[in-house]
Amino acid sequence: MSVAHGLAPARPRRWRSGAGRVLAGAGLMTAVALLPWLSRTDPALTVLRARSADQDPSPTDLAAVREQLGLDEGPLAHLAAWLGGLARGDAGTSWVSGEPVLPQVTGAFGVSVTLMLGALAVTVLVAGLVCARTVFLGSRRRLRQDRVSTGPAVLAALPKFLLASLLATVCGVWLGWFPSSGWEGPQSMVLPALALGIPSGAMIGGLLDQALPAAFHEPWARTWYSVGFPPGHTARHALRRALPGVLPQLLPTVVALVGGAVAVEKIFNIPGLGRLALDAAIAQDLPLLQTATLALALLGMAAGLLVGALRHALLGRPLRDGALPALHRPALPQGRALRWVAGSCAVVLLGLVVAGLLRDPLHVDTVARLVPPSVAHPLGTDSLGRDLLARLGHGALRTAGVALAVTAVAAVTGLLLGMVPQVSAGLTEAAATMPAVLAGLLTTAVTGPSVWGAACAVCLVGWSPYAAQSAALLEQERASGHIAASVSLGAGRLHLLRRHLLPALVPALLRNALLRLPTTVLVLASLGFLGLGEQPPTPEWGRLLSENQPYAELAPWTVLGPAGALVLLSVLAVSGTALRQRSA
């Protein structure tokens, strides 16, 4: 009787999770099916130009394409026909090339998953290096000073496409260690895996490094140390205790690379699923886009189930029995270096912005194209001869303001959806693997290209890391003993939320948001670069990186300025928030 009673509540939760995944997938596929009809351009015109690059097709040609593709039947008829064929193992034929869709998606999916596994290996290695010091000191009871390592913030702020260009140039072209282009074998995976895995590993490692001190200061760790347990044994169990709160970040950080590594795939000329989905979305090749989107959604949901099963296996019986100790960071003394780092970053960043505001960011001087840093141009000039310091300074407020607003909206949305994980699980998994570019195409089809349209697109998919983290931490907090004690004493839901759950969620969520702040800037820039967001010649840091990336080898100063500003912003945000939390 007790076993049946204990299992009964789990069934409705599983049904709700399954229904949520089905509804999320149906909503995503419907939105994709509407893309050609939501866009402000004629789908027949877009497809015809993708086929033949004809800039001025005749009405007869457009009518023939509409009739051939059945565009007059509407999106729902196309979606129903595609689903019917998919049930028979036929995903249709490409509107542009006329070739079967399924072999194209299958081949690109295999390439992207292989690249993702390589990036995952690099991510795990980098994350281990980031938190190695904390593991070593904590397992020996020598964590006597609280610290916020700025190293993960620096690495997490590195633009993936800029790191890819650097690796391709140095390790591929100059040194010839690995192939710099194409996909021919395991060696072709090394450089793109490094470009994708280093920033991702820094982000995962930074979150894990912040969670480990709480695990090492639990009563069991103190007891094991006092009775002489080996440090390695303590370290393994501390990692097992801290990892479940960080594991959900693998879904939006690593698994999302299957569809989101478009820039890196283009730099290394990799025929991955991200490039395929982007090209299909731009050409409005609906069968190809629908099949690629379905593959991404299924991968996200399968990865979400796998991560959830691994989390429950690590936490074990205490999670099921509601006897899980709550993790709380110990009150360790603060080092002086953190204040120095925060102050130095603030001074340098403020100096760059003020100096740039005194210059004209739109003045074009073709004689001074790609001039290196000098007294007249401290950060050099770009390909049009515009002063980079001026563009950096004038773009600071817009860059930081929009990125902070998008991050705040995404974090709050993720927190709210993470509190109802049975309902939002499928939506989180689908959004985590959906490329921001695809969301941008769907959004700008309605709003038109603008900075706020790009911001809305990032918000549509950017909440998934915070929802995954909130759901995981909330599940662990609800299974802790002090929650059961509070409930037994008559505490209501509002009291539990205000006094226990939110204080446990918000600090970790804030650290995650600040580590992801530079990524938000770069995603906004990528949308602007594709004509979906901020339009030129507006100076914006991410756009500066995107515009000057082709000149990184010839004139590296064109990207060093905005990349350095992103790093300074990331380090300042992380260290400043840590100082405020400790003073509070």
If asked whether residues 371 and 279 sit together in one domain, one would say no
Specify the number of domains making up the chain: 3
If asked whether residues 496 and 433 sit together in one domain, one would say yes
If asked whether residues 225 and 299 sit together in one domain, one would say yes
CB of 483 within 8 A of CB of 503?
Answer: no
pLDDT value of position 11: 42
> ω into residue 537 within 30 of 0, thus cis?
yes
The helix-helix angle for 337-357 and 557-583 (nearest 10°) equals 130
Between CA 390 and CA 466 the distance in angstroms is 35
Between CA 430 and CA 439 the distance in angstroms is 12
CB of 465 within 8 A of CB of 512?
Answer: yes
If asked whether residues 255 and 357 sit together in one domain, one would say no
Residue 202 falls within a domain, yes or no? yes
Choose among 339, 361, 395, 392: nearest CA to 579.
339
Between CA 237 and CA 67 the distance in angstroms is 64
Between CA 34 and CA 580 the distance in angstroms is 46
Q: One digit per residue, pLDDT tens: the chain, 584 residues?
A: 333 333 334 444 566 677 777 887 888 888 888 877 776 677 777 887 777 765 677 778 778 888 888 877 878 888 888 888 888 888 888 888 889 999 999 999 999 999 999 999 999 999 999 999 999 999 998 887 666 667 788 888 888 888 888 888 889 888 889 988 888 878 889 999 999 999 999 989 988 988 898 889 888 888 888 888 899 999 999 999 899 989 988 888 888 888 777 878 888 889 988 888 888 888 888 889 889 888 888 888 888 889 888 988 888 887 777 777 777 777 666 666 777 888 888 899 999 999 999 999 888 888 889 899 999 899 999 988 999 999 999 988 888 888 889 999 999 999 999 888 877 877 888 888 877 777 877 777 677 777 788 888 888 888 988 998 898 888 888 877 777 777 777 777 787 777 778 888 888 888 888 878 877 887 887 676 666 766 777 787 877 887 888 888 888 888 888 888 888 888 887 777 666 655 55
Between CA 186 and CA 48 the distance in angstroms is 38
pLDDT value of position 373: 92
If asked whether residues 342 and 217 sit together in one domain, one would say no
Spell out the residues 6+ positions from residue 236 whose beta carbon is closer than 8 angstroms to its own. none
Choose among 496, 559, 475: nearest CA to 169.
559
If asked whether residues 315 and 345 sit together in one domain, one would say no
Between CA 166 and CA 161 the distance in angstroms is 9
Spell out the residues 6+ positions from residue 380 whose beta carbon is closer than 8 angstroms to its own. 370, 371, 372, 373, 374, 388, 555, 557, 558, 561
If asked whether residues 75 and 103 sit together in one domain, one would say no
Task: Look at residues 27, 61, 89 and tell me which one is the last residue of a structural domain.
Answer: 89
The sign of the CA dihedral 351, 354, 359, 362 is positive
Between CA 57 and CA 77 the distance in angstroms is 26
CA-based end-to-end distance of the chain: 49
CB of 500 within 8 A of CB of 473?
Answer: no
If asked whether residues 279 and 406 sit together in one domain, one would say no
Residue 436 falls within a domain, yes or no? yes
Between CA 472 and CA 192 the distance in angstroms is 30
Residue 64 falls within a domain, yes or no? no
Residue 261 falls within a domain, yes or no? yes
The helix-helix angle for 502-515 and 557-583 (nearest 10°) equals 160
Element (H, E) at 413: helix 396-418
Supply the Cα-derived Rg of the chain in whole angstroms: 25
Residue 357 falls within a domain, yes or no? yes
How far is the CA of 258 from the CAs of 59, 174, 298, 352, 578, in angstroms? 39, 28, 12, 37, 33
If asked whether residues 77 and 136 sit together in one domain, one would say no
The helix-helix angle for 286-315 and 464-478 (nearest 10°) equals 20
How far is the CA of 548 from the CAs of 154, 331, 558, in angstroms? 21, 45, 6
Residue 5 falls within a domain, yes or no? no
pTM as predicted: 0.85
If asked whether residues 149 and 36 sit together in one domain, one would say no
If asked whether residues 152 and 22 sit together in one domain, one would say no
pLDDT value of position 3: 36
Domain containing 114: what range? Answer: 91-321
Between CA 372 and CA 379 the distance in angstroms is 7
Choose among 330, 342, 327, 324: nearest CA to 137.
330
Between CA 414 and CA 520 the distance in angstroms is 15
DSSP line for 276-310: HHHHHHHHT-HHHHHHHHHHHHHHHHHHHHHHHHH
Between CA 277 and CA 429 the distance in angstroms is 18
The residue whose two tokens read 């591929």 is 172
| Region for residue 324 given its phi and psi (left: phi exceeds 0; alpha: psi -120 to 50; beta: otherwise) | beta
In a 3-state reduction of DSSP, which class is residue 122? helix
Tokens read off for 459: 């918000």
The residue whose two tokens read 């079967």 is 100
If asked whether residues 494 and 546 sit together in one domain, one would say yes
Residue 328 backbone phi and psi in degrees, to 5: -130, 130
Q: Where are the alpha helices (DSSP H) in 131-254?
A: 132-139, 150-156, 160-167, 190-216, 219-226, 231-246, 250
Between CA 521 and CA 519 the distance in angstroms is 5
Residue 102 falls within a domain, yes or no? yes
pLDDT value of position 445: 67
- Give me the CATH number covering residue 250: 1.10.3720.10
pLDDT value of position 6: 37
List 480's β-bridge partners, or say none: 324
Between CA 433 and CA 195 the distance in angstroms is 19
DSSP state of 436: H
The helix-helix angle for 436-447 and 273-283 (nearest 10°) equals 10
| Cα 68 off chain centre by | 39
Residue 380 falls within a domain, yes or no? yes
| Cα 462 off chain centre by | 7
Spell out the residues 6+ positions from residue 92 whose beta carbon is closer than 8 angstroms to its own. 81, 82, 85, 100, 101, 287, 291
CB of 393 within 8 A of CB of 361?
Answer: yes
Choose among 398, 380, 390: nearest CA to 552.
380
